[in-house]
Amino acid sequence: MKKLLLTLMFVSFLNSNAQNPVQEFKFDGNLKSTDNTISFLGAPIFVNDRMGVAKSALRLTNKGFEVVVGDLPQGNKPRSISVWVKFNTITAPNYVLGYGGAANAQYFGLLQQGASGGTSDASLAGWGAANDVIVSVPLAKDVWYHYTITYDGNASKIYRNGELLKSVDGIARLTKGYILRLGELNTTVGINADIDEVKVYTVAMTDEQVMESYNSSKPSNAVVASQSTSSSNTVQKNTPVEVRSTTPVKLAAPATVSPADTKIASKIVEVFSQGTKVIGANATNIGDLPEGTYLLKVTNNPKK
């Protein structure tokens, strides 16, 4: 029994440790890491973040920011980098982030090409066409997206909003460099976007960990663009959920009712999420609601 408990504790420790970044930048009015050990260089402009909090995201308009991160994985070591980004223009390429050298297989970064017809190529860039992982995705401006790029020594993966967009095995990574750059492809600047919450890991996060990272950091009332791609390696769409206030829904009893149905029909049931009434939700269709935590308000139906 003790061995089992120790094994479970060890596995739990590994899972927890795997989701702890070695460096994290939240840009809450400053350019420092959350542990205050390092800082990006540059003159920042802070704007509303994905939660709507003022001066809590970094605006990059044809400007790059750099920081030396001694923990950046080198060579073919496992790694993950995640970031929240809102593109303020989608007609030109956005060099979101990256590090490494301008030589074959020595770079590791994320860029989003200019959109055409509502779609754009997202790329895990490795410097050299054979080292890139490219996938076409729908793209809209002024929408917050959560990207994660990972490498485990064999598989290179790119995710958006917690969903795996594409995975390619067998790409050799020879990453060299400790300067993490925002808004730059190596030293070429090109971006018009808002950046929030950059995290660097020295492990390749699993699909489940990437989804958990997205779910735990997304706005509670976020409307996330659905995504479908032309790649056969992509996964299903993420259906948006939007809540708005509405008037209470009165339940009418059906033509043939049981005692339980009659009891429900004598009540007004209102469903709330994040303090807001959910459209069209009542006791008869609770099963249709997305997974989540809700508050029910039940009141007596006034007698006629």
Residue 233 has pLDDT above 50, yes or no: no
Residue 94 has pLDDT above 50, yes or no: yes
What pLDDT shows up at residue 236? 37
Residue 15 has pLDDT above 70, yes or no: no
Residue 172 has pLDDT above 90, yes or no: yes
Average pLDDT value for the chain: 81
Mean per-residue pLDDT for 158-173? 98
Reported as a pLDDT band with limits 50, 70 and 90, residue 207 is very high
84 φ, ψ (degrees, to nearest 5)? -95, 135
Mean per-residue pLDDT for 189-207? 98
What pLDDT shows up at residue 285? 55
Residue 256 has pLDDT above 50, yes or no: no
Burial of 92 per CB tally in 10 Å (0-12, 13-18, 19+): middle
What pLDDT shows up at residue 291? 58
Q: Which long-range contacts (C-beta less than 8 Å, at least 24 apart) are formed by 26-33? A: 26/56, 26/196, 26/197, 27/56, 27/57, 27/58, 27/195, 27/196, 27/197, 28/53, 28/55, 28/56, 29/55, 29/56, 31/58, 31/65, 31/67, 33/67
Mean per-residue pLDDT for 245-266? 43
What pLDDT shows up at residue 31? 98
What pLDDT shows up at residue 303? 56
Mean per-residue pLDDT for 217-223? 74
Mean per-residue pLDDT for 244-269? 46
Residue 232 has pLDDT above 80, yes or no: no
Mean per-residue pLDDT for 63-67? 97
Residue 68 has pLDDT above 80, yes or no: yes
Tens-digit pLDDT profile for residues 109-160 = 999 999 999 999 999 999 999 999 999 999 999 999 999 999 999 999 999 9
Question: DSSP string spanning 200-263?
Answer: EESS---HHHHHHHHHHHS-TT--PPP---S-TT-------------PPPBPPPPSS--HHHHH
Among 169, 154, 18, 25, CA closest to 85: 25
Q: What are the residue boundaries of the structural domains of the chain, listed by start?
A: 8-217, 243-304
Would you say the pTM of this structure is higher than 0.85?
no
What pLDDT shows up at residue 275? 55
Domain 8-217's class?
mainly beta
Given a contact cutoff of 8 angstroms between Cβ atoms, the answer to whether 283 and 264 are in contact is: yes
Rounded-to-integer distance, Cα 120 and Cα 118, Å: 7
Residue 240 has pLDDT above 60, yes or no: no
Question: DSSP string spanning 131-195?
Answer: G-EEEEEE--TT-EEEEEEEE-SSEEEEEETTEEEEEEE-----B---EEEESEETTEE--EEEE
